[in-house]
Structure 1
Amino acid sequence: MSKFRKKKKGIPAVNTAALPDIVFMLLFFFMVTTTMRETNLVIENPRLPSATEIKKLEDKSLVSTIYVGKSKDPNRDGVGYNKIQLNDKISTAEQVPAFIFSKRDKLAEAMHPFMTTSIKADKESNVGTIIDIRLKLRDVNALKINYSSTAPAN
């Protein structure tokens, strides 16, 4: 017998020392890159009309969105495509100026002229509702209005 025995060589164990570092790096990456939705839709997802000339909005922090469409809960809000959503609740056209003023209060005064109001209205919405919104926006001097639409299907 030999004095020195040869050890059996097997597959070495996987080194898991770096695993927590990788997990926390991925967690940090997703926390930084994920954006949270600002409003929950109380109306059905609007089916936007199509348009031929489309321009993308550049600075989304200066955009206030007004949704017009059919309510998801007709028992609570009533039936019809003329429901106006401001922030997370169904509102009326008379509440649009207060909505705009609350958005303006969050911005610096120098940025007020660059503020845009985006109207996302369903195809089936009445034009009268949109005109009521426009008149209220005119009363508070919010004259930059964007009508959201989709690209035409080719």
Structure 2
Amino acid sequence: MAFGDSSPRYQSKPAMTEINVIPLVDVMLVLLIIFMITAPLLTHSVKIDLPKASSTPSQNKTENIEFSIRADGNFYWGGESVTLEQLPTRFTEAVKQSDKTELHIRADREAHYELVAKIMSIAAKAGLARIGFVTDPNEAAVNDEE
């Protein structure tokens, strides 16, 4: 069988225009059989009786600074009203007492971000590395429903 042969016996046959799907079907059947055999092996699990253990939370009591920012710009350190000028010395004193002191910031929803950023900056300059925000998850769920 020569392609492009110009002999007269091949010129009478028309060109084959149909796709031969038999090899494709053969390959697909082989793949189907392979997947049918390997699929149950992938979901096979081994039963293991793991040991039971109980744990208690660690008693590493770290010093927390409860700091609140109201919408009107007032600051509260553990419920006590403070001014912006008092904060650098108070943060520095807290770090001197314990280097693992954490700052927990509670900010009103309407509090300006600028105030929050100033407090975080002052705390970071004083050496507080652990700064977190305290939110009320129940309040967020109520606002999502509105």
**Structure-1-length-normalised TM-score:** 0.45
Q: Higher relative CO (CA 8 A, sep ≥ 6), structure 1 or 2? A: 1
**Structure-2-length-normalised TM-score:** 0.48
Q: Whose Rg is larger?
A: 2
